[in-house]
Amino acid sequence: MSTSVWTRLLRLKRPQHAFVLTESRLVYVSRRDPSTGKPSTAENAVVKTASRPLPEGTFRPGKGNAPVADGALQNAIIALVREGGGKVHAASLVVPDHFVEVLSVDVDDPDKRPKEAAEILSWKFAKVFGEPLPPLRLGWQTAGPGVDGVRVLAVATPEEAAASWEAPFAAAGVRIGSLETASLAVSALGLAAVSGNGFVVWAEGRSTTALFFENGSLRFMRTRPTADPEDALQEIRLAASFVSKNGPIDVEGACAAGPFSSPVVERFRAFRAEAGGKEPVAIGGKAGDDPAVAVALGAMAKAEG
């Protein structure tokens, strides 16, 4: 099994190039100095984007229904690298939330007993991916005290699937510096919007994710494979009830949500308004903006830390 502490898997130092993979397209985003055209973190940097559609059938269901990519992905990568001038040597890769599984588990002293923590997580993920458990790309981090031990947040997907997303980039001469989900990437923008305390809702495509932060640290994360507005709202409220001793969602609490074009986010905003809460801070731009750009900028924002 391939295991890794989350903070190593999701490194803070990121290239100023990012690819955002979805089931239907691949998007390339970079930030460049307007005078030199080179990658830049400056405030006046120009955001450059390009995308390529992926043909139907690019992904087949692997173990646990994790999407496994075929050669069509490499063709899209080569085209986008050429469009980037052939100088994209390293980049971040962001995948949809539903490409991975997320678990929250209480473990006894996981920092001192990482092997035992990995074994517990493997047992838990076996219930998701089935027996025999396939080799996993697994990352985890501690998230403060739990009900019984230390809370551990973990993400995993079969190694076969993760390798199928990464290998085509290597074949095209691009080193993937970090691999993460869309909600984790864009949460860098949402975290700033709530000043380190509050929660972020990201509902794009076939999944809805709620991430809760305290003093700048991730305390809880819940992803559910639903795009139904009412079902998603219930999942968000359940997640909030889990983290909050006060029970239901704190309608006065700081919150960021996106993309605003999502029916789930529209319903969530309406719920906040009906309950007398504040409008969530928008992440992912306006309703007509491409959410993939915000996701990429979130991934690249960590390069500046």
Query: Tell me: the pLDDT tens digits for 66-105?
Result: 999 999 999 999 999 988 777 888 899 999 999 999 999 9
Is residue 9 scored above 60 in pLDDT? no
Q: Please give the average per-residue pLDDT across 266-283, as a whole number.
A: 91
Is residue 5 scored above 60 in pLDDT? no
Residue 4: what pLDDT? 37
Confidence category of residue 146, pLDDT binned at 50, 70, 90:
confident
Residue 163: what pLDDT? 95
Is residue 303 scored above 60 in pLDDT? no
Residue 302: what pLDDT? 63
Where are any strands of DSSP class E within the chain?
A: 2-5, 17-21, 25-32, 46-53, 59-61, 67-69, 90-95, 101-107, 136-145, 150-158, 175-181, 198-204, 207-214, 217-224, 255-258, 281-282
pLDDT digits (tens, 9 = 90+) for 192-201: 888 888 899 9
